[in-house]
Amino acid sequence: MLILPAIDLYNGRCVRLTQGEFSTRKEYKILPAEMAALFADKGFKHLHVVDLEGAENGAICNWDSIRSILSESRLKIQIGGGIRKTDDIDKLLALGAERIILGSVASNSLDFTKKLLLEYGKERIVIAADFKDDSVLHTGWKKGNNMSPLFFIESLHKMGFEYFLSTDIRRDGVLKGPNTDYYESILRKLPDLKLIASGGISSLDDIRRLKRSDLFGAIVGKAIYENRIPLDELVKI
Strand partners, 71: none
The predicted pLDDT at position 144 comes to 82
Q: CB neighbours (10 Å) of residue 86?
A: 13
Query: Coil, helix or strand for 73?
Result: coil
Domains of the chain: 2-234 (3.20.20.70)
Nearest to 83 by CA among 138, 155, 29: 138
Spatial contact of 137 and 108, defined as CB atoms under 8 Å apart: no
The predicted pLDDT at position 137 comes to 86
Catalytic residue among 88, 90, 130, 168: 130
- At 180-191, the pLDDT tens digits run 999 999 999 999
What residues of the chain score a pLDDT lower than 70? 73
214 DSSP 8-state letter = T
Catalytic residue among 8, 51, 172, 206: 8
Q: How far is it, in rounded angstroms, from Cα 19 to Cα 61?
A: 21
The predicted pLDDT at position 47 comes to 98
Alpha-carbon distance values, 3 to 52, 70, 159, 219 (Å)? 21, 18, 27, 6
Spatial contact of 102 and 125, defined as CB atoms under 8 Å apart: yes
Q: How far is it, in rounded angstroms, from Cα 71 to Cα 97?
A: 10
Spatial contact of 220 and 2, defined as CB atoms under 8 Å apart: no
130 is catalytic: yes
To 5 degrees, how large is the angle CA 223–CA 197–CA 204? 40
Alpha-carbon distance values, 69 to 35, 81, 94 (Å)? 9, 15, 13
- At 197-210, the pLDDT tens digits run 999 999 999 999 99
The predicted pLDDT at position 25 comes to 94
Q: How far is it, in rounded angstroms, from Cα 81 to Cα 48?
A: 11
Angle between helices 149-159 and 180-189 (to 10 degrees): 40
Angle between helices 149-159 and 110-120 (to 10 degrees): 40
The predicted pLDDT at position 87 comes to 97
What pTM was computed for the model?
Answer: 0.96
